[in-house]
Structure 1
Amino acid sequence: MTHQNHERQDQYWANHWQNPQYRRITMDQAMAIALQRVPGQVVKAELDYDDGMLIYEIDIRTAEGQKYEVKIDANTGVILRVKLD
C-alpha cells in the first residue's frame, strides 16, 4: 500500500470508526466474550482503531487482583490478544 493510500484509509476510518454500522458486535457482546476468556470484573472497555482495524480493548481485573487486557475484533468477535498488564 502506498503512503498516500494508507493516509486515505486512515482518514476514512478516523471519520467513520465510531459509527455503529461499521461494527458487527456491540460493546456488551465484546465484554461478554472477554469475560468468558478471563473471568473477573471489567474495569475499562473502549472501541479503538488499531493497525487498520476496529477493536474493542477490554480491561479485566480478576478475583486474584491481576489485570488483563483483552483485544477483540469489533467485526468478528474474535479474541486477538490476551495480555497480563
Structure 2
Amino acid sequence: MGQMPRLASTRALVLLLAAAGGSVHADPHDHDRARAALERGEVLPLAEILASVTTRVPGEVVEVELEREDGTWVYELKIIAPDGRLLEVLANAATGRLLKQEEEH
C-alpha cells in the first residue's frame, strides 16, 4: 500500500477517534467544545494539523485529543514512528506549531 492511501486511512481513523472523544474516558461533551472552538476560529481543523505534523514527525497517527492546557487549545497526537517507537506530539491547536515531542514508555 502506498503512502497516500495509508495516510488517508489514518486520517479517517483519527477523525473517527476525534469524533468519539479521542479515548474511552473522554467527557461526552468534548466534541461539542471542540466543534465550538473550531467554529469560533480558536483552533485549526484537524486535517490541517495532521498535514502539518505528519510532515515533520513521520509515522502513523493512532490517537488524537484536543485539550485545554493553561488556557491554550492543544492537539495531543500519539504517533507510531517508522522504527516502532510510540511518540507523543503536542501542537498548538490555533497555529499548528509543535510544542513538544517525546517518546512514550
Calculate the TM-score normalised by the size of structure 2: 0.60
- The Cα shift of 1:17 comes to 4.5
* Separation in structure 1 between the aligned mates of residue 77 and residue 90 of structure 2, nearest angstrom: 6
Q: Which 4+ residue blocks in structure 1 deviate beyond 2 angstroms?
A: none
- The Cα shift of 1:22 comes to 3.8
**Are positions 1:48 and 2:67 aligned together?**
yes
55, 72, 76: which is aligned to 2:91? 72
**Are positions 1:29 and 2:65 aligned together?**
no
**Which structure has the highest strand share of the two?**
1
* Separation in structure 2 between the aligned mates of residue 55 and residue 49 of structure 1, nearest angstrom: 6
Calculate the TM-score normalised by the size of structure 1: 0.72
Give the number of equivalent residue pairs: 71
User: RMSD over aligned Cα, in angstroms?
Assistant: 1.9
**Are positions 1:81 and 2:100 aligned together?**
yes
Percent of pairs with identical residues = 30
Q: Tell me, which stretches of 5 or more residues in structure 1 are unaligned?
A: 1-13
Q: Is the 8 A contact 1:17 1:54 kept in 2?
A: no
